[in-house]
Each structure stands twice: as structure tokens, then as C-alpha cells.
Structure 1
Amino acid sequence: MTAETELEGQIGEWRGYMLRRKGVDQTDVDELEDHLRGRIADLAETGLREDEAFLIAVKRMGSVDELSREFAREHSDRLWKQLVLTGDPDAPADTAKRRELLIMLGCAALAAVGIKLPLMFGAGFDGDASFYARNAGLFALAPLILYFGLRRGVSPRTTAVLAGLLVLGAVGANVYRLDGDSQSIVLSAIHLPLALWLVVGLAYAGGEWRSGQRRMDFIRFTGEWFIYFVLIAMGGGVLTGFTAGVFTAIGLDPETFISEWLIPCGAVAAVVVAAWLVEAKQSVIENMAPVLTRVFTPLFALTLAAVLVAIAVTTNAIDVERDMLILFDLLLVVVLGLVLYSISARDHAARTGLFDWMQLALVVSALLIDILVLVAITGRITEWGFTPNKSAALGENLILFVNLAWTAWLYVSIIRGRKRFSVLERWQTDYLPVYAAWAWAVVLVFPPLFAFA
């Protein structure tokens, strides 16, 4: 192999790596390549071999991430065009974007219409609150599943699986005759969205749910989707305030319109819109979930440590009422989310540091709190017997305990240099079906198991 051929091979590898970076397209890489070749020529004139000149030139050009940010700043006009989906209407990329936009608008409109359809059969928000509570997950997530099914072009077999799981969710939410004060209604309202969210994951992965990488992609999507949804909700709150003020100013009562139309239709439509934003902008703007993880990991670690100290000092037991159990479970899920998004954004080959020790402290603190919750739940069950709420909480906290315990063990092994971060990532993605199985069990099995209590 000649020196010139070897140099071209090195530049080709460099181009391929650059093209995979966000914020840098082929035109940018062409400009950078011209710049790189100029530097190589200058260095070669000083007597360096071409391979040496190549390495030094790449080093002097700075890191790839810095170059990505530089190009994003220099080409801000292109960035804004990408953000608002403008461009050449005849270009294939823009045609695809328009198609995705139409799919999103259709699914969002379907979601808004779907949540109002029960009115045709006399089911209103006021008189049939339990019906809407049990079916909230279906109203919100069925259009999202359809959106990803259309966007990914899933196979007929995957379509049948998705449709079957939606039907199963609808049957589980509505087939049982439950009293208005039944604990199973609340459990179904909480667990059906969790079960269906993992069905969303199946559609998101295009049927490739066995792929650990696709599961990890869905976990990343979940974090970004949540951030976008919260931002949309905040904007919706401002819109609601303006709507109330304007209607009141002209002598009309806006309460019915806001409570029965604006909020419910806007909320279910925003589920689809937030997903579209994540999909459309993920190659344009930086992901926020890993950034927020860096901010909130130390804060949550300090908070959990303070809780443990307070429990030790006061010797007060954890309240195991339903609302408190939900709060603690959400807290533990947030801890796992912080671990996941930190893993997803780091270089697996990088050495461990202070932040990894902080995450280990966070996981151990969450594990200790979960043990205290399990002790409290077990004590109440021993004293009063099994109920749907306590049984569901016991199962969920046992599942979280296993996840947290093994996560802590893997983190210790990683910090000691015995395992790689990819092992921890694979453990988290492989554990997702356990959550799905438990959520479906609570929706489908608990009502008859506890005599529809």
C-alpha cells in the first residue's frame, strides 16, 4: 500500500466518523476535508510523513464535538430551517418530512376526536369519571402506537401484535364490573398506561423488540418525549389562562369549553405531537435528558440521603398509604431513569470518575429506601391481610428491589474495573419485559383475583 493510498484510507475513515455526528452534514464535512487536506499539505512541507501530518492535522482541528457545535453556530440559518421544516419542497428529505408531519397531524386529530367519542354514547367527564380513568391510557397511547406503526412501516405480523395488545388493554379496562370505590379501578388507571407504553416501545422499535439497542433507543426516546410533553403542557397552561381571560372579558363562561374540550383534547394530542418533535429534532438539537441527568443526580442523591438520615433520627416508619406508595415508587423509577440516561450518554470506554461514585450512592440510597418500604408493606399485610393496593405495591417494590440491587452490584463491579458499562446498559434493557408483565398482570388478573374489590 502506497503512502498516498494509506492517507486516503485514513481520510475516508475520518469522513465516515464525522458524518455520524449530529449538527454536521455532508457539505460541512466537504469543507472540513478541504481544511484538513490543506493542513496536511502544510505539515508535509515541513518534512513530516503524510500519516504523521494527518494525525497532527486532525488533532489541531479540535475535537469532533467542538466542530459540530461550531458548524451549528455558523450555519444557524440552516438550523432554523430544519427546526421549522422548511426547505426545497421537491427534495426527497423534505417530502419525507411532510409525510411525517401529515401522519402526526392525522394521529393527533384522531386522539382529540377519540377522547370525545364516548359523549355520543352518553359518557361525560363528570358522570363517568371512572370510565375515563380506566381508559385514559387507551385514549392517549393508541394514537401514538398508530403513529409509530405508520412511521416505521411495521410488518403485518407486528401490526397484528400491536392491535391484539390494544384490544387486550381495552378488554382488561372495561370487561370487569367494578364499583365506583373499587381499588381495581385506580390500579387499572395506573398500570394500563405503563403496559401500553411498552406497547408503544414495540411500535417504536418497528417490531425489533429483541434488540437491546432498539430498547435503549426507546428508553432515550422516553426521556426526551417526557421533556417535550412537559414543555407543551406548560405552553398549554399559558394558552388556557389566555383563553379563560379572553372569554371572561366578553362575558362568556369558559369553564365548560376548557374542562371538556381544550384540556382533554389538547392533552391527548400533545402525546403524539411530543413524539413527533423528538423524532423530527433528534438530529438537529442536543438531547436534553442526559444533560438534566447531570444536574439532578447530585440533587436526588442528597435528597435520598437526607430522607434516610431523617428516618434514622426520628425512627418514624414510612407511611404505606396508597398515595405515599405511589410517590416512593415514582422516586425509585426516577432514580433508575437517572442511571439509564447517564449510561446512554457516556463513552463506555471512558474511565470511571466522581460522577459514577455519585450515581452508585444514589442507587444504594434508593435501594435502602425500597427495603424500608418493603418492610412497611410486609408489616401491614401481616397485620391486615392482602388487598389489591398492598399486593400491587409489594410486587412493584420487589421488582424495583431486584433491579436496584443488581444495578448497585454492577456499578461496584464497573468502578472496580471488573465489568464494562455495556453490561449495566444491557441489564436495564433486558429487564423492561418484567415491568410490562407485572403491569399487564395487575390490569388483567388482579380484579378477579381479589373479587373485584
Structure 2
Amino acid sequence: MTAPGSPDGGTPSPGPDALEDQFAQWRHYVRRRPELQRADAEELEDHLRGSVDELIAAGLRPDEAFLVAVKRLGGLDELSREFAREHSERLWKQLVLTGGADDPETGNRSRRDLIAMIVCAVGAAVSVKLPELFGLGFQQDGAFYAPNFALFTLPWLAAYLAWRRRAGRALIGVMVALFALGAVAANAYSLAEDSQSLVLTTIHLPIALWFVVGLAYVSDDLRSSRRRMDFIRFTGECFVYFVLIALGGGVLTAFTVGTFQAIGIDPEGFVSEWLLPCGVVAAVVVAGWLVEAKQSVVENIAPVLTRLFTPLFTAALLAFLVAIVWTTAGINVEREALILFDLLLVVVLGLLLYSISARDPLAPPGLFDRLQLALVVSALIIDVLVLWAITERITEYGTTPNKAAALGENVILLANLAWSAWLMLGFIRRRTPFAALERWQTGYLPVYAGWAWVVVLLFPPLFSYL
């Protein structure tokens, strides 16, 4: 007896739901192309569906028909270039900040978004100056501003995204509660300026609150793996925009200070007390707005960045491992070294996440995927060595907040990198679909958020506020 849906008695062919999942992946990727408007994507999908139907009628299984039809349709890069040649004015329209000049509805929405962004950016700038009403100065009270700085800007960015996504009241209530919890964690404990717990809170609270921003970003579909991957992409693009704004603002500030000093006016007090703090918190909101307004413009930088830095970091990590073997030197696990190694592993993870978010999920494995596997395996080995050194240090001298935080973070990264390497190996060997790697990374995001909250809320009392 043959299996249902399998004319040759072999493996049952995927059902309609599996085929629709493939179409959904293809549609999601196509709509990220800057040259293709929605109508273009819908036209291409109609052609693709027609081709799939013809191939199924000819006797192919649905999944085989889909792959053949996509191959016949052609590479998206080629399609994008063709549409760009035929509609070159679209690229210029994307660079206009207000956008939608030929579409009144789009133009009105863009203007509303612009107004909402300005309100939120001004709100962030005002928030960072409010503590001065209570006698706290930006330069004099670093122990207050350091852990609280994210609270002056991220709630406003979350408010903008929640407004744009039309988030429900229940979700807004959850976000308000989490930001309030962050404010309590930053201010309820009496921590000295040289306290390790203060440094850990300053580092981990922005991470915890950034995932609250993520709730606002995916509020239209909280359970969607694709929306979580979009948030990963949003994070990378927001960082790129923020760096560009910071570089431009730094040049402008330097020219402003120089020109005013030339006429005998010293603006350094204004720069340090007003321009710098207000500009930084407002720039975060502006960067988020730019990503939303120009989603497909900076997005094209992702493949360039990952393909540039992945080989460089792979070479650096392999050279480091060779040096350890050659010199038989142990890893220093003092505070600065722990921060350095954790940052290195986070950068590797960031490269992996950003490359996954920018990759065509339907493309077959290639040389770059093997290079990424080498990067992840190298980082995994270094993580094991660091964990070994931390464990020895704790066993010999006891634990501290820094070592405990580093231990937990390295265990979390170890689990992620180990399973990521396994999934990447399966994908390269064509035994695991690329979607499995995407689901693993997006499903692991709450682990990072949970650990950040643990460090912020529990570490100070656990370690007697050291």
C-alpha cells in the first residue's frame, strides 16, 4: 500500500501547510528587497504559484515543485537589479525622509511617524535633565546616571514602536511594569561607586530593557519567529544608524566648539551638560525611527558587514587558539579580561545573528556558511577555555559578582554556540533546514533577557551589595 500523497509509495509528500510555509519564507525575503514594491512582490508570487501548480500537475511533489519553480524564477539579486533598472526613481524616493510623495496615505503616515518620533525624542531629552530638579548633576553624580541612563531613552523608543504597532493595552501594561521594575533595580539598592554590582547593573540593565523594546517591536505578532528575527535585524540596523549619528554629531560638536572659542565663547559647559546627554538619548529614538522609515536601505549593509568581519574574526580567533597551544599559556580571568572575552563572544554571536537575519533562507549552503561554522566552533573552544579558567579561579579564591556573572554568561553562550554549531553542521551537510537555526536563535532570546534580569535584581543582595 502506498503512503497517502505519495504516488511512488515513498516518503509522504509535504501537505499544503508545509508548502504555504515555504511561500511565506519566500515572500518575507522578497519584501525585504528595496527595489521591489508590494505590487511587484505579489506579481512575482503569482508567477511562482502558477509555476508550482504546473509542476505539481506534471507529477512533482509540492516541495520539489517549489524548489524547481524558484530556480526557474531566477535569483532575487538579478530580479532586484532588473526592477532597479526599470524603476530607478524608486531608490531615490526611499532616500527622501518624508517618503510617499506620490501616495497621500503613505505620506500622511510618514508625517505622523515623524511627529511621533520628535515627541518621543524630546521626551527622552527632557527626561535626562529632570534629575537636575533634585540636585543631581550629569557630571557629578555618575553613580546615579550610569545605571539609570537606559531608563531615560529606551521607554521612549518603546513608546514610539508601541504606537506605531498599535500595541494592545495589556502589552503596554506589561512594558510599563518592566520599565518600572528596571527603575527599582537601578535605584533601590545602596551601591558604592566602586561596587562591582553597580558596574554589572550598568551593563545588564540596558540589555534587559532592550528586550522590553523588543516586546514593543514584535507586539503585532509576539509568537512569530520571523518577527523576532526582524527584531534582531532592527537591533543591528539601529546600532549602525546610532553610530552614524554619533559620528556626525561628534564632528558637528567639534566644529561648534572650535568656532565659538574663536570668538572668545567657551561652549564646553553647554556641550557637556546639555548637548551630550540630551543628544545621546534622543539619538537612540531617532535611530529607531530611521530603521522603521528606511527598513530596506541600511538592511543591505548587513550582508556586507557580516561578509567583511566574519573572515577577520575567524582568523583572529584561530590565531588566538594557535597562540594558546604554542605558548601553553593560561587565560587571565581578571575583571578586564573577563569583560574582553565576553565582549568577543557577544560580537561573534552578533555576527552570527546578523548574518542569519540577512541570509536568503532558501539558498543552499556555501563557502560562507562553512566559514561561519569555523567562527562558531572557534568561539565555542574559547568559551570552554574561559569557563575552565573561571571555575578554577572560583574554586581557589572564591566567587565575586564579576566572576559569577561571567560564569553564567559563558554557560549561556556555550549552550547557544554548541547547538548553533550542531545545526550549522547539519545544514552544511544538507540534513537540517536553515529554518531550524533561525528558530533556535529566536527562541533563545528570552534566555538572555532572563539572565540580565537575574543579574540586575538578584546579584546585589546575593553578594551583599559588593
Same fold flag (TM > 0.5)? yes
Mapped pair 1:348 → 2:361: yes
Mapped pair 1:137 → 2:145: no
2:92 corresponds to which of 80, 85, 89? 80
Fraction of identical pairs, as percent: 64
CA contact (8 A) 1:115 1:265 kept: yes
Mapped pair 1:399 → 2:387: no
Q: Please, which runs of 5 or more residues in structure 1 have no aligned partner? A: 1-12, 37-57
How far the C-alpha of 1:213 sits from its partner, in A, is 1.4
With the length of structure 2 as denominator, give the TM-score of the two structures: 0.83
Residue-by-residue CA offset, 1:171-204 (whole Å, 9 max, x unaligned) = 0110111122211110000000000011110000
With the length of structure 1 as denominator, give the TM-score of the two structures: 0.86
- For residue 395 of structure 1, what is the amino acid of its counterpart? G
Aligned to 1:24: 36
Q: Any idea what SS the aligned residue of 2:427 has? A: helix
How far the C-alpha of 1:61 sits from its partner, in A, is 9.5
CA contact (8 A) 1:89 1:95 kept: no
Aligned to 1:9: none
CA contact (8 A) 1:144 1:272 kept: yes
CA distance in 1, matches of 2:226, 2:193: 43
Aligned to 2:341: 328
- For residue 23 of structure 1, what is the amino acid of its counterpart? E
CA contact (8 A) 2:30 2:41 kept: yes
Residues 406-421 of structure 1 correspond to what in structure 2 (within 5 A)?
Answer: 406-421=419-434
Aligned to 2:14: none
CA contact (8 A) 1:227 1:289 kept: no
Residue-by-residue CA offset, 1:34-83 (whole Å, 9 max, x unaligned) = xx9xxxxxxxxxxxxxxxxxxxxx99997543342344355444433332
Change (3 A) 1:81 1:310: same
Q: Please, which runs of 5 or more residues in structure 2 have no aligned partner? A: 1-22, 48-69
CA distance in 2, matches of 1:344, 1:286: 10
Mapped pair 1:221 → 2:231: no
Residues 351-370 of structure 1 correspond to what in structure 2 (within 5 A)?
Answer: 351-370=364-383
Aligned to 2:207: 194
CA distance in 2, matches of 1:138, 1:339: 28
- For residue 343 of structure 1, what is the amino acid of its counterpart? I
CA contact (8 A) 1:293 1:338 kept: yes
CA contact (8 A) 1:188 1:442 kept: yes
Mapped pair 1:387 → 2:386: no
How far the C-alpha of 1:146 sits from its partner, in A, is 1.0
Count residues with an aligned counterpart. Answer: 416
Q: Any idea what SS the aligned residue of 2:137 has? A: coil
Residues 7-406 of structure 1 correspond to what in structure 2 (within 5 A)?
Answer: 20=31, 21-25=33-37, 63-72=75-84, 75-84=87-96, 85-88=98-101, 91-206=104-219, 208-284=221-297, 286-406=299-419
Change (3 A) 1:77 1:299: same
How far the C-alpha of 1:441 sits from its partner, in A, is 0.5
1:436 corresponds to which of 443, 449, 456? 449
CA distance in 1, matches of 2:298, 2:386: 40
Q: Any idea what SS the aligned residue of 1:167 has? A: helix
CA contact (8 A) 2:100 2:106 kept: no
CA distance in 1, matches of 2:141, 2:224: 41
- For residue 93 of structure 2, what is the amino acid of its counterpart? K
Aligned to 1:40: none
CA distance in 1, matches of 2:303, 2:287: 18
CA contact (8 A) 2:30 2:76 kept: no
CA contact (8 A) 2:124 2:281 kept: yes
Q: Any idea what SS the aligned residue of 2:455 has? A: helix
Change (3 A) 1:192 1:214: same
Q: Which moved more, 1:204-213 or 1:214-223?
A: 204-213
CA contact (8 A) 1:297 1:359 kept: yes
- For residue 278 of structure 1, what is the amino acid of its counterpart? V
CA distance in 2, matches of 1:438, 1:445: 10
Change (3 A) 1:312 1:124: same
Change (3 A) 1:410 1:19: closer
How far the C-alpha of 1:376 sits from its partner, in A, is 1.4
Change (3 A) 1:247 1:172: same
Change (3 A) 1:336 1:26: closer
Mapped pair 1:447 → 2:460: yes
